[in-house]
Structure 1
Amino acid sequence: MKKIYLVLVLSGMILTSGCYTVRTAGNSGKVPPGQAKKAAGAKSARDFAPGHNKY
């Protein structure tokens, strides 16, 4: 009887510990230029805009 419970518990643990994927928001990591300006402490958001990146 104990073997049946052991098999059930082990199989349940294997089934529930399967693949786990983390889903994030679609624009994860991308912030608007104004918010990036605030975080950097800059005076202008122009340098953080997509068309004004300095290389």
Structure 2
Amino acid sequence: MKKTYTILLMALVMLASSCYTSRTAGRSGKVPPGQAKKATGSKSAKHFAPGPQKKKH
């Protein structure tokens, strides 16, 4: 009986700890502009590049 509780507890801990996901696409600075462009499906990587953005009139 004690062994069953131990296995059940271990399975619960494993399930609870596997729910964490991280998302790094976009303007986070951790992904190169070309990779962020691919992830979002944009046609241009300008919006993901660092530095000053050109103003649109």
TM-score, normalised by the number of residues in structure 1:
0.38
Larger helix fraction of residues: 1
